[in-house]
Amino acid sequence: MIAAVWRYFRQVDEYLRLQILENWAITAAITFGWTFIYGFLESAGFPRLSMTTICPIMGITSGIIFLVRRLISR
């Protein structure tokens, strides 16, 4: 699967490649900020998060960013 994604990423044009990288950078920044803040909430009594919850959060965030950027570009 990683090889297929890598091959696709290498075959797309520069504009789409830049857009994909920007989406992932924004996704990583939002997920980092959310998990950083949630770390403080855990010390206030919120339940601990496992890593299996972070991956779906990144996927959902990436999808939302993709849709928002698609709607803005119309």
CA distances 13 to 17, 42, 47, 61, 64, Å, are: 6, 43, 44, 24, 23
pLDDT in tens, 22-49: 999 999 999 999 989 998 999 999 998 8
Looking at residue 6, its pLDDT comes to 86
**Lookup: tokens for 39:** 């770390």
- Predicted TM-score of the model (pTM): 0.76
For residue 18, the Cα-to-chain-centroid distance in whole angstroms is 15
pLDDT in tens, 2-20: 899 889 888 999 988 898 8
Looking at residue 25, its pLDDT comes to 94
